[in-house]
Amino acid sequence: MKFKYYLVFALLLLAHVIAGVVYSGYAWWWILVTILVLLAVLVQGCRNIQWNFFLKSVNRVPLSLQQLRAGTKPVALTFDDGPHENTLKVLDILKAEGVRATFFVIGKEIAGKEPILQRIKDEGHLLGNHTYAHNAAFYWQSAQLMAEDITKCNELIHAATGVSPDIFRPPFGVTNPNLAKALAKLGLQSVGWTLRSMDTIAKDPEALLNKILNSVRSNNIILLHDRCDITVAMLPELIARLREKGLSFGFPVVME
């Protein structure tokens, strides 16, 4: 992983700067500056899932050779943080439009909403794991505790649908070495995104729609949240306008 090469580079760079301070008269603050820069890069590696810094994530819709030859231009609609009462509205829209999507669900939200998960499965959508707890404390745990949290979510999904997801989306798109170990142990594929809609903070459906349409490209994985009213409101128009652009809809991973 990039993180391993980064560690080697960081240690060599720091050793070079320290040697410069000791033997060549560099100002001592160069050590502090170097450490701060290296920490800033590390933080960005944690925050930016597209960097694949600690683990390999799927951040674009994969295309087969046949699809490339046919000129297929897919995008993947992905919905995080369900199940939620709004998930039913999203499913109604997707069914009416004949679109399949991917739902990354939170384990603690499943109780009492098992029929929603069953409907997601029955209507041909893809289920993914979005942790059980979905909180910032998740990232301060050991790899073992992370794996237990993720497993708990998968067990609840399996109990509701008979399906055990093999894809996982990190909460907030954050990754670290312990998460990489946990996913490797569980055999789960991390899925990121290409286009983050920011629908959780958007206020105007039309502005949100235009933001997505102005940024979207073929093979993009679009991050949405089925719990958001604004997402439900603009989803039918989004699907229609994406089709006008010649885009089709698929999953963020290759299906067997």
DSSP string, the chain: -HHHHHHHHHHHHHHHHHHHHHHS---THHHHHHHHHHHHHHHHHHH-GGG-SSS-EE-B----HHHHHHT--EEEEEEEEE--HHHHHHHHHHHHHT---EEEE-GGG-TT-HHHHHHHHHTT-EEEE--SS-SGGGGGS-HHHHHHHHHHHHHHHHHHHS----EE--GGG---HHHHHHHHHHTPEEE--SEE--TTT---HHHHHHHHHHH--TTBEEEEETT-HHHHHHHHHHHHHHHHTT-EE--SS---
For the question of residue 80 being annotated catalytic, the response is yes
Whole-number Å distance between alpha carbons of 99 and 244? 14
Q: Is the pLDDT of residue 1 over 60?
A: no
**Mean of the pLDDT values across residues 18-39?**
94
Cβ burial, residue 219 (10 Å; 0-12/13-18/19+): buried
Q: Is the pLDDT of residue 256 over 60?
A: no
Q: Catalytic pick from 80, 81, 149, 226?
A: 80
Q: So what's the pLDDT on residue 116? A: 98
Average pLDDT value over all residues in the chain: 95
Q: What share of the chain in percent tops pLDDT 70?
A: 96
The mean-pLDDT minimum among 58-67, 109-118, 192-201 falls in: 58-67
Q: What share of the chain in percent tops pLDDT 90?
A: 92
Band (pLDDT 50/70/90 cuts) for residue 178 is very high
**Mean of the pLDDT values across residues 136-152?**
97
Q: So what's the pLDDT on residue 244? A: 97
Q: So what's the pLDDT on residue 2? A: 85
pLDDT tens digits, one per residue of 185-215: 999 999 999 999 999 999 999 999 999 999 9
- Report pTM: 0.93
Band (pLDDT 50/70/90 cuts) for residue 60 is very high
Q: So what's the pLDDT on residue 98? A: 98
Q: Is the pLDDT of residue 17 over 60?
A: yes
For the question of residue 226 being annotated catalytic, the response is no
Band (pLDDT 50/70/90 cuts) for residue 233 is very high
Q: Catalytic pick from 84, 125, 130, 225?
A: 225
Q: Is the pLDDT of residue 255 over 70?
A: no
